[in-house]
Structure 1
């Protein structure tokens, strides 16, 4: 089965849309196939503003209406307490909200952007998707991340080379309570680095220390801009440490 055939069989679907590489291509493919697709972006405390901006931009580019749902994930104790299976409870919360709204809008089939490169055994959220009967057409059609990037580039989607992104909660050590204040500190620190030209990085919270994980190819720039980085992150972290190993995907 290919994507065209999937949307011929499932021509009325709701998509949990993040604005990343995978869900962006899926939205494009659905529109190209002439499917009736409802795109839903869930705005929670875990998503930075730039992700919503990218999602709106991509949806406009492919001619799709994007519905933005506000969701308080920290109201779920099993999410806020940050256990090892936090992603399971978070995914249940988020896709449950999408499923409820999509059903009201007349959509009975829910899909997501999981691809064939994603290791289901390493993703607690995959169990939640299965329980909610969410379909993953990219994975089912055998499309890997590299395939999707190549197809996105061919389609002229600006997301084709967008770095993979994990939610802000992943910056906080397992077992440490997640608060809105902490998430905003991390988002603010990462915004500073993004405005300085860095990409595909993480600022991880380690007590009052901000641990910077930057790709090896950007390490020289980080060292040269050491003083600017420390000054820029001062409002968010008492101290800043650079991980010299470099960030690996």
Structure 2
């Protein structure tokens, strides 16, 4: 166990030393555990020369934006917000198997634009060492094409080690479940629209209000399919929640509200992609 801890410490030290050699870095920052760890390392290495940047668009839930603001403050890093719209891209709206590529390309391009304004050459993302081996990941192609720096990947830091480092920095998101953008709730091949994204966000707000931690509301052209973590299925079957979900989610424009008894699982609407 001690040797594993030393190994993680060595990787952290190497990543920190690498970033310390830069004149400055801008971290593509979602407030999730991966990008939060990169932001914490960058702030540790560079202080005021490190910037966390969150891209605000229709696919980012407002709750996640507020969480990103809170975590950036927790880290003590400057936090910038840039705005763009994936819905300006027909390729994104079509929602084919490479939707994540189009999204990541636009998002990172917005980051590079802000970095240029700040005279920062290095843009970092939160890709970790386990990500490339997790099936079809078109978003990683965008990272490579735009030559973003991935400190976690470059220093072979796995997801488990990311959480260890998050604990090292006392980050409140150390055990935070992954949270992909809202468009990942729409099955591949069905158009992404602002109307769908809005009702998905509002539907998931209902689950968040009821205290669920791992959840998705999948939008099958008007049918809401609720997924919750396996350990939370019993709570989702509570008659009071069922009534609340039927009323409040049904009022958002869904024709039917259903609960998936298999529970939350990655890629349930896009099995061949990196969707969450």
After TM superposition, the score normalised by the length of structure 2 is 0.87
Point out where structure 1 has 5 or more consecutive residues left out of the alignment: none
* Residue in structure 1 matching 2:27, options 3, 6, 15: 15
Distance 2:168 2:119 in 1: 32
Q: Which residue pairs with 1:122 in the alignment?
A: 136
**Cα deviation 1:201-243 (Å, max 9, x = unaligned):** 1100112210011111001111012222212211122211111
4+ aligned runs moved over 3 Å, structure 1: none
Deviation at 1:10, TM superposition (A): 2.7
Matched, 1:26 2:42: no
Listed as ranges, the matches of 1:212-223 within 5 Å are 212-223=226-237
Q: Which residue pairs with 2:18 in the alignment?
A: 6
Matched, 1:63 2:76: yes
Q: Which residue pairs with 2:272 in the alignment?
A: none
Matched, 1:242 2:255: no
Q: Work out the number of aligned pairs and report it.
A: 249
Point out where structure 2 has 5 or more consecutive residues left out of the alignment: 1-10, 267-276
Listed as ranges, the matches of 1:158-177 within 5 Å are 158-177=172-191
Deviation at 1:11, TM superposition (A): 4.4
Matched, 1:145 2:159: yes
Q: Which residue pairs with 1:227 in the alignment?
A: 243
Distance 2:190 2:255 in 1: 18
Kept in 1, the 8 Å contact 2:30–2:54? The answer is: yes
SS in 2 for 1:119: helix
Deviation at 1:154, TM superposition (A): 2.8
Q: Which residue pairs with 2:50 in the alignment?
A: 37
After TM superposition, the score normalised by the length of structure 1 is 0.96
Q: Which residue pairs with 2:271 in the alignment?
A: none
Distance 1:199 1:172 in 2: 20
